[in-house]
Every structure is written in C-alpha cells, then in structure tokens.
A and B are shown apart, each in its own frame.
Chain A
Amino acid sequence: MNAVFLISAGLSVMTTLLAITRTNPVHGLLFMVLSLLSMAGVFFSLGAPFAAALEVIIYAGAIMVLFLFVVMMLSLDKSSEKRERSWMSGKIWLVPVALACVLATEFGYVVMHTGPSSEPAHVIDAQMVGASMLTTYLPAVELASMLLMAALFAAYHLGRVTEPVARNKGAP
C-alpha cells in the first residue's frame, strides 16, 4: 500500500506542476485529469475507497469534461498559446512561488511533528461517509445544498428565453 501511495502521490505532484506550466489549455486540462486520478489513488491507498471513487466519477469524469467542453468551444489556436507563454514568464511566478513556499514549510512542519503514517488506520466505506454526512457534518451539507440551489436558480435565470424565438421562418 505504501508503494501505491508513494507512486500516486509523486504522480499527482508531477502532473499538477505540468498542468500549471502547459501553454496549451487542453494539455493542461489533461494533466489536471491525471492529477485528479492520482489523487484518487492517494485516497484509495489511505483507506478511503468511496472518496477515491467519487473523485474519479465527479471530478475527473464530469467536471473536467465540462472544462474540456468549454475549452473546445473557445477554439483556441497558436496565437493564444503564444499569449499564454508571454504571460507565464518573469515576475508573474513570484507570488505563486512564495505562497507555495509557505505551504511547503507548513507541510514540512506537520510531517516532522506527526510522523508519516503509511498504513491506513481503517477503511472508511460508503455507509460511514453517509452517516457522518447526515450527523456530524449536517450543517455543512445543508449549507452546500443551499449553495447548489442558488447555483441552480442562477443557471435557470441565465438559461431562460427572454424573447419569443422566431420559429418556422425558413432557413436564411
């Protein structure tokens, strides 16, 4: 299990870096999908198969497909790639790298003081996830559901037809 964890964790770090640095948006998205898949591997090796499956189905399988859909609709070409490359050079790296350094220090501190736990403590299955969702984390679930409801209304509002669409007027 340790090997699975190490491989998928290393993969996820690597693919995330690649996802940030690619200039072609579709390539970046694909590396992000790979990063999510390796994150699923990390979850699986830590004893949370349900979370791993949801990571694959929802993030990699649905949300990233929507991202890809939008990117495909934009029809980006070589010029946009060039513009992207010009954005990704020089001082623009400064702030993200600094923030990443802060995160890395914090992460190192946590690792030093708690020590690595390679073996999964116990496997968390779907039933336990569901039970804790509706007991311990009920307020959070309710808040998230309200947020999703608001998003639903917003989508309905954006998607409604304001003017009657002219039908059967013949092809132009």
Chain B
Amino acid sequence: MVEILIDIGISVALLLSIVTLAAFLTFVERRLLGFWQDRLGPNRVGWEGSLQVVADMIKIFFKQDWTPSFVEPVIFVLAPAIVLVTVLLAFAVLPLTPGIGIAGHLNIGVLFFLGMTSLTVYGVVLAGWASNSKFALIGGMRAAAQMISYEVFMGLALIGVVMQSGSFDLVKIVEAQRHLWFVVPQFFGFIMFLIAGIAEAHRLPFDLPEGENELGAGFHTEYSSMKFGMFFVGEYASIVLISSITVILFFGGWNGPFLPPIFWFMLKISLFIGFFILLRAALPRPRYDQLMSYGWKLMLPLSIINVAVTGALILSVPA
C-alpha cells in the first residue's frame, strides 16, 4: 500500500515538474532567442523577467475560451488533450536516475516511447481537421505526412543503440553506457535521431504544420485560451521529452563523475533544450517538398545503412 502511494507521489511530482518546466521553457526560449538576436527578451516581470510565466498563465487562463461555430465540437476539444496526454505518457518510461522514474524498467521502453510519439500526431491532425478551416486543414495534413515520414527513420536510427545494448529497456541502455556513451559508436544514429526528433516535436526548422508565414498558425489557427495553451505546453513538453530521450539513449543518461546523477541528467537535457532553441534562432524553414525528399531520399537510406553496418560490426567483432 505504502509502495503504491510512493509510486503515485513520484508520478504526480514528475508530472507537475514536467508541466512546470515546459511552461517555464516558454520564458527561457524567449529570453535566449532575445540574446541570440542581440535583444534582451522579456525582463520586466519579476527579477530579470522570471515571473513572466506567471503573468502569461494568468493571461491565458482568463482569455475567452472560444469554440467557433463551424468546428466539430467534440474532436476540437479532444485534440489538444491528445497532444498533451501522449507527450506526458511518454515520460512514464524515462528513467531520470536509477531511483527516479515511473516505469523505467519497462522491457519495451524504447518502443513505448516510439508508440507515444507516433500517437501525438493524432492531436495535431485532428486539430487541423476539426477546426474546419483551410489553413488548419493544410497544417494538419502536413503534420500527418511529416510525422509519418520522420517516424520511420527515427525508429531505424534507434535500432543501432538497441543492438549495441541488447535491450529495449532504457535503464539497461543507460547502464550499458557507463564506460562509453553511445554517441561515439552511434554518431550517425545520433544525428539522424536528433533530426527526426526535431521533426517529431514539430519544432523549427521543421515546424511546417505551424508555418506561421503561410498558414496563419497552421493546425492551431482556430484555438484560443487554454486549448491553445495545451498545444503550447505540449510542444515544450515534447522538447523536454526529445532532449531527455536523446540524453538517455546517446549521452549516458545519469552517468557522470562526482556529482549526483539527477544533476548530470538535468545538465545534459538543459544543454539539449538550449540546442533546440538555438536551432530556432539560427535556421530557416525548408520548403515542404525539400522536407519530404530529405526524409525519404537521404535520411531513410542512411539510417538503413547505419543499421546494416552496426549489425555487421557487432557480428564480426567477437564480444
């Protein structure tokens, strides 16, 4: 009984900290983007703008929660919830440290993560369809095609890691990296996974479903108030998710000398979150056909070659 209570406590604490972190990222991102564009960013509310999140939250909660008359009401309400729920569910299998994590020892951890990210696309696509407006629909269709294309080689890029560690269990994968991070033997796998991860989180430069200069706001054109806020928090939570999974799979998870494991984990994921924001500050958005041909004609063959080479090396080198 006590164990169940502790488990529930850990889950709730983890959920709350992820959502808070995701909300805080909206501030961190604006501040960092500001610095990278020689601006200051929001620095008025609280010390150096640190309470900006609170102000934004108050604002977004008190906005009118408007459901336009032309939408499919049920699915319109359901879509943002799907995005947030699937992203948060994927956190269940992430082992933050040896002790902290909800279902870290799940024997299909990697596959569970892949499954949840592949379900995230429903939220986006259904938001586009249920909005019943042409910009939202185009955004949703782009999301569907983009996510399916990039999921394919996201899975294939992970296979190298799974082959080397011999398990889908994320804890075992991290423990296998005690001496050498997988980013060294699986460098190409890492690059491809990162690119696919950016596309999965539909972050810049792959945010074509949103495409604000040609589609208004893409799939969430018709959303307002906290329904929009859920898409927003979901996007930032998926940044945290992709960063954490990259750290766990390729950068040794909590492994690190001297300092406590949670510190190393946090340090590594914050570096990746910073990298995501840097990508937004620096790179322009590709054209849609460029995105598609890049995924299918370059990344997919490369990831298959990566899998084949890794397998051949594992078989040829005696353990």
Question: Which residues of chain A have a CB within 8 Å of any CB of chain B?
Answer: 26-27, 30, 33, 49-50, 52-54, 56-57, 60-62, 65-66, 68-69, 72-73, 123, 125-126
Contacts and interface: CB of A to CB of B under 8 A. Distances in A.
Contacts of B155: 57
B115 A53 contact: yes
B121 interface: yes
Nearest to A56: B115
B141 interface: yes
Contact of A26 (B75, B112, B121, B145): B75
B170 to A, nearest CB: 13
A53 B111 contact: yes
Nearest to B72: A26
B4 to A, nearest CB: 15
A123 B168 CA distance: 14
Contacts of B197: none
Contact of B119 (A52, A60, A73, A125): A60
Given A26-B75, A65-B148, A56 B119 contact: yes
Given A49-B106, A49-B111, A68-B129, 20 more contacts: A26-B126, A26-B129, A33-B122, A49-B108, A53-B111, A53-B112, A53-B115, A56-B118, A60-B115, A60-B119, A61-B119, A61-B121, A62-B118, A65-B122, A66-B144, A66-B148, A69-B125, A72-B128, A73-B141, A125-B107
A65 B108 contact: no
Contact of B151 (A54, A62, A68, A69): A62
B147 A65 contact: yes
Contacts of B118: 56-57, 60-62, 65
B76 to A, nearest CB: 12
Contacts of A73: 141
Given A26-B75, A69-B141, A126 B108 contact: yes
Given A65-B144, A69-B144, A57 B137 contact: no
Given A33-B122, A56-B118, A56-B119, A69 B145 contact: yes
Q: Is the interface of B mostly helix, strand, loop or mixed?
A: helix
B218 interface: no
Q: Is the interface of A mostly helix, strand, loop or mixed?
A: helix
Interface of B: 72, 75, 106-108, 111-112, 114-115, 118-119, 121-122, 125-126, 128-129, 137, 140-141, 144-145, 147-148, 151, 155, 168
Contacts of A26: 72, 75, 126, 129
Given A68-B125, A72-B141, A50 B119 contact: no
B121 A65 contact: yes
Given A57-B115, A61-B118, A72 B168 contact: no
A66 B115 CA distance: 16
B125 A65 contact: yes
29 contacts: A26-B129, A30-B126, A33-B122, A49-B108, A50-B108, A53-B111, A53-B114, A53-B115, A56-B119, A60-B115, A60-B118, A60-B119, A61-B121, A61-B151, A62-B118, A62-B148, A65-B121, A65-B125, A65-B148, A66-B144, A68-B122, A68-B144, A69-B144, A69-B145, A72-B125, A72-B128, A72-B129, A73-B141, A123-B107
A119 B119 CA distance: 29
A27 B137 CA distance: 16
Contacts of A60: 115, 118-119
Contacts of B147: 65
Contacts of A125: 107
B129 A61 contact: no
A68 B140 CA distance: 10
Q: Pick from A54, A56, A61, A66 the residue with the most CB of B within 10 Å.
A: A61
A125 B168 CA distance: 10
Nearest to A66: B148
Nearest to A50: B108
Given A65-B121, A69-B144, A72-B125, A126 B114 contact: no
Contacts of B125: 65, 68-69, 72
